[in-house]
Structure 1
Amino acid sequence: MELLSPRRVQSFRSIREKEVLNMIKSIALQEGSAVNLSKKISSVTYSITSLAAFGKGSKYHAKFMLVSDEALKLLGGFSLADMYPSVKVLERITGIRKRLEKVHKQVDEVLENILREHKVKRAEPKPGSGEEAKDQDLVDVLLKVQSSGEFGAQLTDNNLKAVIFDMFSGGGDTSSTTAEWAIAEMINNPRVMKRAQDEVRRIFGERGTVDESRIRDSTYLQAVIKETLRLHPPATLLPARECSERCEIYGYEIPVKTRVIVNVWAVGRDPNYWTDPEKFNPERFLDSQTDFRGTDFNYIPFGAGRRICPGISFALPNIELPLAQLLYHFDWKLPGAVVKQEQLDMSETFGLTTGRTQDLELLPIPYHPFSNNSVAC
């Protein structure tokens, strides 16, 4: 689909590089102080997703970020009403339905304004057509698809708003969660951290910063990301699927219309398929052809088949670039209050994604002296 085609994702490269570099500069200003990397990484990935979706000129960025944050907290939270959906009184007792309706209305209003803003911009005369396609954001692409009717059934504004929200919630949270887990695992495995840093610093040498031109040459960093996704898939459970025909799995009959949920977390730690499954070992992927595309059913962090996550090509650069920049520009240590522990607490918390229970706070030690030249794009 044009919405997340490789060409379209590549068109957002300048956004990614600028936003990640801004994050690096802000961390450099906190030299000597602990940095909450969880918040830094989350902020940059949501900013990238927002700019890619709405464009640089939208005046609704801040408002959408605010209401979306509240919506994601509610959607990822636990409620007794979810466990006992037939007991309608629980929705009133917990107040969850009222809160959801309020937040839904707020999100809908902001998205309505964003669509209206883009429709007005599309109606304005263009001085030339050369830059028009290049400057299109994801909302522009959706409106173009809507007006063309290329999918047969007419896409309504509500359809577009649903796609935008799914894109934002899925694109930001999964990328930031994966990058955060990768750093945490490398802190607990200094050998892996050093090898990944040495590789990134060798590839980009004295250029002063990292860009996307050679980031795929960092084979060990790619292995680190794959291993992180094996141990910490952003979505522990894949979205439910419905059996279209009766089948049998290991002697169990699965009737037609049965809802099946795949536990990706358990698949990635299955000792029948993985050696030392609980060990963080990126080397297992160095000589392996295993990829993210669902070709190997013992490794499906993004799902598989026709229903595989369509945002893989958008998510990966949002993981690779922040990680490479953080590894290139800084050495990382635990703050004094935590350094007495042998390892970071790796407890998980469940929501829309499976993140860390505690925010990741680390002490950055600049690898290069920062100057205007060393951080210039």
Structure 2
Amino acid sequence: MDFSAPALFLFLFLCFLLSCFFVLTSDRSRRSSAGTAAPPPGPPRLPIIGNILDLGKSPHRSLAELSKTYGPVMSLKLGTVTTVVVSSPEAAKNVLQTHDHVLSARTFNYSVRSFGHHDVSIVWLPPTAPWRLLRKVSANQLFSPQRLEATKSVRMDKVKELLKFLSESSERGEAVDFARASFVAVLNIVSNALFSVDFASYDSQASQDYRDIVIRVMEVAGKIDIANFFPFLGFLDLQGTGKEARDCTGKLFNVFQGFIDARSRERLSRTEPKDVPGTDLLDALLDLTRDNEAELDMKSISHLLLDLFGAGTDTNSSTVEWAMAELLRNPEKMERAQEEIRRMIGEHEIVQESDIAKLPYLQAVVKETFRLHPPAPLLIPRKAESDVQILGFLVPKNAQVLINVWAIGRDPDVWENPMKFEPERFLEREIDVKGKDFELTPFGAGRRICPGMPLALKTVPLMLASLLHSFDWKLQNGAVPEDLDMEEAFGLTLHKARPLRAVPIKKRAGPTS
């Protein structure tokens, strides 16, 4: 852990005060497990801090290594927080399906609490009435088959704009920053679904500003903070996490509020009947608040927009970047994917969403990317609402439960050659990513499965197929595939630490017409 000197001093000083909590917690744990199933095994614990130091800078990797010793259901004590980590398909199925009704609540860290997001967020609320309303609204107004079909033209337009930008870069022989380029395309897809406007262009600073904010929000949300493990220390904000979270999200809230205010004024001046449906999510949300009949208020709307905006842009764009990085590292896989796409689509045609079903190898590339680089490596933490058994081990009430999908995706007992990028494995195995096959659950499963999965499964394959169909690719400055940096930057979501840069080589004129 990387504490500042004042934070470390205060933390050590408070350790003495926390000793009584350690004793009480240990006694309570022993009493809860007496006469019942045994608690999961786990690494030795230090007094007060427990296993905090075992997390390291990349918790998903550290926990994966520990699970090799302590098994697929493992218990750690992170300060005052009892944490159970599952890292096998069978254990994940127990959490996400068998005991989903007991394990659907959330634990939330200090950064989320610091700006009240846990009280109104579709991600962090427990599965009660307010959460069900938010899920229903987002499903019906954004992710239903009807809405996805209605917004298909927007996605196609944004992909064409991406191809135009890449074509111009190709003519200049310039390398493209994939992180930024893919983010702009996804950002505008999402902003049109939410507000019917583009948020950025490829030659504007706005795209980088939005990306920096979104990535910082995700990094802060996944940051190892003292207050995550000793919640009553949150008011001290020893590491400045709360302030950083409020600053980052405040910038986005100001943007959203500007759109809300402008749309509200515009709606007042409309002459059409009030019951005419809106064209985007913001209109739908304002319709729900009309006449004060719904449970939604402006605060709920802003926080819902934050969830959809952050998750929708960050995860989709980073998945496209990871996929391209893996293909550039494995030129024979890229060649096979391109051959399939160009043969099925035609040299001078534009890839359509309907074409994706005809591209099994392209779909396998996407699945293999999700296996090796799941957007949320530990998913979102769950909370046990009562004692429950996972594979015969006791998970006590109020325990935090983490599902290490990153570890499951690299488990040699589950996958042959797990560290290799081999899309072919999905041509031989009927495995999907929609929450039924627990070897591969990048979106989670059960009632808390990611609501944006339907949009992601349209956006990512369409963008990737279009990039591979329209261009050949090479690394900049003569770099060789074996030297491509694949280091990760950990947060609530998993990013490539150093953005991928590659040169597009355009061979056809058709795709951007």
TM-score band by shorter chain is 0.7 to 0.9
Number of the residue aligned with 1:38:
179
Number of the residue aligned with 2:136:
none
Q: Distance in 1 between matches of 2:339 and 2:149?
A: 27
Q: CA deviation at 1:48?
A: 1.1
State the Cα RMSD in Å.
2.9
1:2 to 140, 146, 149: 140
TM-score by length of 1: 0.87
Larger Rg: 2
Specify the SS of the correspondent of 2:499.
coil
Please list the CA deviations of residues 106-145 of structure 1 after superposition, one character each: whole Å capped at 9, or x if unmatched: 3323222212222233334355999x65x61111222233
Amino acid at match of 2:285: L
Q: CA deviation at 1:54?
A: 0.6
Instruction: Note if contact 1:64-1:110 (Cα within 8 Å) is conserved in structure 2.
Output: no
72 and 206 in structure 1: CA distance in 2 versus 1, 3 angstrom threshold: closer
Number of the residue aligned with 2:242:
97
1:144 to 280, 283, 287: 287
Instruction: Note if contact 1:207-1:374 (Cα within 8 Å) is conserved in structure 2.
Output: yes
Instruction: Note if contact 2:356-2:462 (Cα within 8 Å) is conserved in structure 1.
Output: yes
Instruction: Note if contact 1:72-1:352 (Cα within 8 Å) is conserved in structure 2.
Output: no
1:261 to 402, 418, 426: 402
Q: Distance in 1 between matches of 2:321 and 2:430?
A: 25
Instruction: Note if contact 1:175-1:316 (Cα within 8 Å) is conserved in structure 2.
Output: no
Amino acid at match of 1:91: D
Q: CA deviation at 1:167?
A: 0.4
Q: Distance in 2 between matches of 1:206 and 1:305?
A: 41
Instruction: Note if contact 1:197-1:328 (Cα within 8 Å) is conserved in structure 2.
Output: yes
Q: Distance in 2 between matches of 1:321 and 1:269?
A: 26
Q: How does 1:20-99 map to 2 (within 5 A)?
A: 20-31=159-170, 32-56=173-197, 66=209, 69-70=212-213, 72-77=215-220, 78=223, 80-82=225-227, 85=230, 86-87=232-233, 91=237, 94-99=239-244
Instruction: Note if contact 1:211-1:321 (Cα within 8 Å) is conserved in structure 2.
Output: yes
Moved more, 95-104 or 208-217: 95-104
2:260 to 112, 115, 123: 115
Specify the SS of the correspondent of 1:363.
strand
Q: CA deviation at 1:67?
A: 6.0
Q: CA deviation at 1:374?
A: 4.6
289 and 75 in structure 1: CA distance in 2 versus 1, 3 angstrom threshold: closer
Amino acid at match of 1:105: G
Number of the residue aligned with 2:482:
342
Q: CA deviation at 1:28?
A: 1.2
Q: CA deviation at 1:342?
A: 2.6
Q: Distance in 2 between matches of 1:23 and 1:88?
A: 43
Please list the CA deviations of residues 314-358 of structure 1 after superposition, one character each: whole Å capped at 9, or x if unmatched: 11222111111110111111122423x634121111123211111
Higher helix share: 2
Q: CA deviation at 1:57?
A: 8.2
Number of the residue aligned with 1:13:
152
214 and 117 in structure 1: CA distance in 2 versus 1, 3 angstrom threshold: same
Specify the SS of the correspondent of 1:286.
helix
207 and 7 in structure 1: CA distance in 2 versus 1, 3 angstrom threshold: farther
Unaligned runs of 5+ in 2: 1-138
Number of the residue aligned with 1:375:
512
Runs of 4+ in 1 over 6 A off after TM superposition: 61-65
Moved more, 45-54 or 69-78: 69-78
TM-score by length of 2: 0.65
Amino acid at match of 1:7: Q
126 and 189 in structure 1: CA distance in 2 versus 1, 3 angstrom threshold: farther
Q: CA deviation at 1:170?
A: 0.4
Q: CA deviation at 1:71?
A: 5.4
Number of the residue aligned with 1:333:
474
Specify the SS of the correspondent of 1:342.
helix
Q: CA deviation at 1:84?
A: 5.8
Instruction: Note if contact 1:80-1:90 (Cα within 8 Å) is conserved in structure 2.
Output: no
Q: CA deviation at 1:99?
A: 3.7
Q: How does 1:167-206 map to 2 (within 5 A)?
A: 167-206=308-347
1:270 to 402, 411, 430: 411
Specify the SS of the correspondent of 2:354.
coil
2:503 is the counterpart of 1:359: no
Q: CA deviation at 1:296?
A: 1.5
Amino acid at match of 1:317: K
Q: Distance in 1 between matches of 2:289 and 2:212?
A: 27
149 and 193 in structure 1: CA distance in 2 versus 1, 3 angstrom threshold: farther
Q: Distance in 2 between matches of 1:267 and 1:199?
A: 29
Q: CA deviation at 1:264?
A: 1.1
2:270 is the counterpart of 1:125: yes
Specify the SS of the correspondent of 1:364.
strand
Number of the residue aligned with 1:286:
427
Amino acid at match of 1:366: K
Q: CA deviation at 1:237?
A: 1.0
Aligned length in residues: 366
Unaligned runs of 5+ in 1: none
